Amino acid sequence: MTKDFNIFLCGGRTGDLVHNLIAIKSLYQQTGKKGILYITNDRELGGDIFSYDIEKTYQDLKEFILYQDYIEEFHILKTGSLLRQEHTNLSKWRRSIYCMKRSWIEIMCDMHQIGLYDNKWLEFTKNPQLSQTILIHRNLNKKRHCDNFPWSEILKNNHCLFVCCEKEEWLQFPHKDKCGLLICKDFSELVESINSAKFFIGNMSSPLAIAHGLGKPHLGELFYPDQVHYIGDELYLDHFYYIAQKGYSKLEGIENWINYESSFCK
């Protein structure tokens, strides 16, 4: 049975998994074989661990993963278990010669010998009530916060909603008095909200990866040195903008989506 499908294994974290889905879609387009995807927290298999318990992670991701037309099945591979079938370990990007040197899309295309695609690799439902909304997000990891990112100017010039599943992220956001709050009941609602919005702004965490994969117009707050994995993806994605910690920025055209000041990139 499994010979009719491509089998994949992926460790954490969620953002990394989202980026890796490009490989499953592209190989499906090349071979006509849908993917059977296993996730694992077993670091012996080359990946990281997910932020939450693996069972919770699976339940959170299940609807979103199975919504993709290139996914046939979705499972957990428990720690200490091995996949007996021939499979692709998606976590091997960590050993790529281009890791910390090139962008996500270039790493994936080289690693799996795949061609480029139709500007996005994710699909999901939409909520039309959010079609004119600018959504923002920033996670709690201060190592991924950049001092030069113009949150105050953005919020002064645009009406935004902070989107999250955990209210603590909003409570710790230093500019929360300048924006509203949209709390999602689960991961699926988070994906739907980002997919529905006019524009998304966020730092390097899973919501930014989701916007990336959905082809949603978005602005990234990129931290050093991991910013290298996003810089360059603007060559392959329409309407991807960023301000990076070490002087790099790509903002041309962003005024078509949000109210913009030239001081953003200074």
pLDDT digits (tens, 9 = 90+) for 219-257: 999 999 999 999 999 999 999 999 999 888 999 999 999
- The answer to whether position 32 is within a domain reads yes
Place of tokens 């998606």: 90
Residues 11 and 85 in one domain: yes
Residues 142 and 87 in one domain: no
- The answer to whether position 118 is within a domain reads no
pLDDT value for 10:
97
- The answer to whether position 242 is within a domain reads yes
pLDDT value for 97:
95
Residues 96 and 143 in one domain: no
Confidence of residue 262 (pLDDT cuts 50, 70, 90): confident
Average pLDDT over residues 192-206: 98
Number of domain units in the chain = 2
- The answer to whether position 207 is within a domain reads yes
Confidence of residue 266 (pLDDT cuts 50, 70, 90): low
Place of tokens 């077993």: 42
DSSP, collapsed to helix, strand or coil, labels residue 137 as: strand
- The last residue of one of the domains, among 112, 142, 171, is 112
Which strand ranges, in their side-by-side order, compose the sheet holding 6-10? 71-76, 35-39, 6-10, 88-89
Query: What pairs with residue 74 in β-bridges?
Result: 37
Residues 82 and 165 in one domain: no
Residues 169 and 259 in one domain: yes
Least confident of 10-14, 90-94, 111-115: 111-115
Average pLDDT over residues 11-20: 96
Write out the two tokens for 74: 């979705």
- The CATH number linked to 246 is 3.40.50.2000
Residue 22: give the domain boundaries: 2-112
- The answer to whether position 122 is within a domain reads no
- The answer to whether position 123 is within a domain reads no
Residues 170 and 67 in one domain: no
Q: Where are the alpha helices (DSSP H) in 68-205?
A: 104-112, 151-157, 167-171, 187-196
pLDDT at 91 over 70: yes
**Identity of the residue numbered 34:** K
- The CATH number linked to 83 is 3.40.50
Residues 102 and 158 in one domain: no
pLDDT value for 246:
83
Please write the tens of the pLDDT for every residue from 99-127: 999 999 999 999 999 876 568 999 999 99
Residues 75 and 163 in one domain: no
Please write the tens of the pLDDT for every residue from 33-62: 999 999 999 999 998 999 999 999 999 999
CA distance 186 to 192: 10
pLDDT value for 172:
97
pLDDT value for 171:
97
Q: Which residue, 179, 158, 154, is CA-closest to 169?
A: 179
> Rounded to the nearest 5°, which phi and psi values hold at 55?
-70, -40
CA distance 183 to 173: 14
Least confident of 18-32, 73-87, 179-193: 73-87
- The answer to whether position 46 is within a domain reads yes
pTM above 0.85, yes or no: yes
Triad 201, 257, 212: Cα angle to 5°: 45
Residues 153 and 250 in one domain: yes
- The last residue of one of the domains, among 47, 77, 112, is 112
Please write the tens of the pLDDT for every residue from 52-88: 999 999 999 999 999 999 999 999 998 788 898 899 9
- The last residue of one of the domains, among 112, 143, 158, is 112
Q: Where are the alpha helices (DSSP H) in 7-142?
A: 14-31, 54-67, 104-112
- The answer to whether position 82 is within a domain reads yes
Residues 163 and 236 in one domain: yes
pLDDT value for 247:
80
DSSP, collapsed to helix, strand or coil, labels residue 78 as: coil
Q: What is the mean pLDDT of the chain?
A: 94
